[in-house]
Amino acid sequence: MLMFNIRGENIEVTQAIRDYVEKRISKLEKYFEKDLKNTAHVNLKVYPDKQAKVEVTIPLPYLTLRAEEMSNDLYASVDLVTDKLERQIRKYKTKVNRKSREKGFKNLEFASTQDTADTETDSASDNESKFQVVRTKQLALKPMDNEEAILQMDMLGHDFFIYEDAETSGINIVYRRNDGRYGLIETGEE
């Protein structure tokens, strides 16, 4: 069963918007096991140019579903993001179910649905080839700061760069975001 945490930025989340979001995203429940309780985190943003962005994150045990879409209409963005999440689930359902059985994870498997049962066997071989490692690289991590890592990444023409932080000696990753700015992932002990 999905519970919802809906928040808005530059928009008041009315009951009509809340009902629409819950109705659309609840359609994904058919893919989850019945006893699994999850919270769908929905962030609605409206920009000054009237663009509406919808971000949905559904943390599952050992897996996180996430999608975002932007359009001129908030309701259309909700529809688009729901469709995107459904495509993700359908695409990776077989792989996730097999891995969860192999590793012994409980309550992770996606439920079987009538409309995906036929395509499951056809797409199983396609998914296997998509996850095949075709190249392996080894690298020596050089201590550097964020700016140098971004410079290295840009010089190489990559979308991400792994390096050792000169101050903390931790392994960090800088990456290029969809908006053209940069993100940083810092590793740490739990």
pLDDT digits (tens, 9 = 90+) for 155-178: 777 889 999 998 988 999 999 998
> Quick one: pLDDT band at residue 8, thresholds 50, 70, 90?
very high
Over the stretch 82-104, which tens digit does the pLDDT of each residue have? Answer: 999 988 888 777 766 666 666 65
Residue 138 located in a structural domain: no
Residue 183 CA to residue 175 CA, distance in Å, equals: 5
Residue 136 located in a structural domain: no
Rounded average pLDDT over 27-48: 84
Tally of domains in the chain: 2
> Quick one: pLDDT band at residue 66, thresholds 50, 70, 90?
confident
Residue 135 located in a structural domain: no
Give the per-residue pLDDT at 136. Answer: 82
The mean of the pLDDT values for the chain is: 81
Query: Are 83 and 46 part of one and the same domain?
Result: yes
Which residues, other chains included, contact 103 with Cβ-Cβ below 8 Å and sequence gap of 6+? none
Over the stretch 146-156, which tens digit does the pLDDT of each residue have? Answer: 988 898 888 77
Residues 131-135: contacts with CB within 8 Å, 24+ apart?
Answer: 131/95
- Domain containing residue 107: 2-130
